[in-house]
Structure 1
Amino acid sequence: MAWAYLLIASVFEVVFALGTNATHGFTELGPSLLTAGAAAGGIFFLSLALKSLDVGVGYTVWTGIGSVGTVILGSALFHEAVTPAKVLAFLLIIGGVLGLKLSDRLTAPSAA
């Protein structure tokens, strides 16, 4: 369940980051409320995930998924450029996230 909570937290993280862009310095009420709610939701679900995940793994995966999701949606919604260097960096982040998930699975105590 921790990984599901982490995925939900990551979605909130993406909404938070994209919403921050729409607040125009927190001068727009609707986007500001959405952004604050997304920040709270992300932290709440991250805290649930960290009940059983190592903080280093959980936080790193949360920020990694949030970063990649923000760049992908930022390019789609705000027409931000996606360069080959950015694509390479995304692939490295995704590889790191997958490696952390695998390492968590390998080090988790088995139920006997």
Structure 2
Amino acid sequence: MAWIYLLIAAVFEVIFALATNATEGFTQLWPSLLTAGAAATGIFFLSLALKTLDVGVGYTIWTGIGSVGTVVLGTLIFGEEINLWKALAFVLIIGGVLGLKLSDRASAGTPSAA
């Protein structure tokens, strides 16, 4: 269930980032409310995921998925450019997220120190 919570948290992280762009420095009411609500909801679901996941794994995956999702949707919604270097960075981020997910699965049978 922790991974589902983490995925939900990452979706709200993307909403938060994209809505922040529309706040115009928090001078626009509805985008500002959406930004605050998405941030709070994302952090809430992240906290649920971190009941089970290591904070280093959970937080890193949350920000990684949020980063990639924000760039992809920023390209589609705002027409932002993706060049070769950005694409390479996305591949590395996705690889890191997958590596952390696999490392968490591998250590699931190992008792934690905490």
Distance 2:61 2:3 in 1: 10
Distance 2:48 2:82 in 1: 33
Give the alignment's Cα RMSD to 1 decimal.
Answer: 0.7
Gaps of 5+ in 1: none
* Residue 96, structure 1, aligned to residue 96, structure 2: yes
Which amino acid counterpart does residue 42 of structure 1 have in structure 2?
A: G
2:52 counterpart SS class: coil
1:32-111 alignment runs, 5 A limit = 32-109=32-109
Distance 1:35 1:108 in 2: 35
**Partner deviation per Cα, 1:5-46 (whole Å, 9 max, x = no partner):** 000000000000000000000000000000000000000000
1:21-40 alignment runs, 5 A limit = 21-40=21-40
**C-alpha deviation, 1:109, in angstroms:** 2.1
Question: Identity of counterpart residues, as a percentage?
Answer: 76
**Partner deviation per Cα, 1:31-90 (whole Å, 9 max, x = no partner):** 000000000000000000000000000000000000000000001111100001100000
Which amino acid counterpart does residue 74 of structure 2 have in structure 1?
A: G
The size of the alignment, in residue pairs, is 110
Distance 1:76 1:25 in 2: 22
Distance 1:39 1:86 in 2: 25
1:97 counterpart SS class: helix
> Deviation above 2 Å: which 4+ runs of structure 1?
none
TM-score by length of 1: 0.97
Gaps of 5+ in 2: none
1:65 counterpart SS class: helix
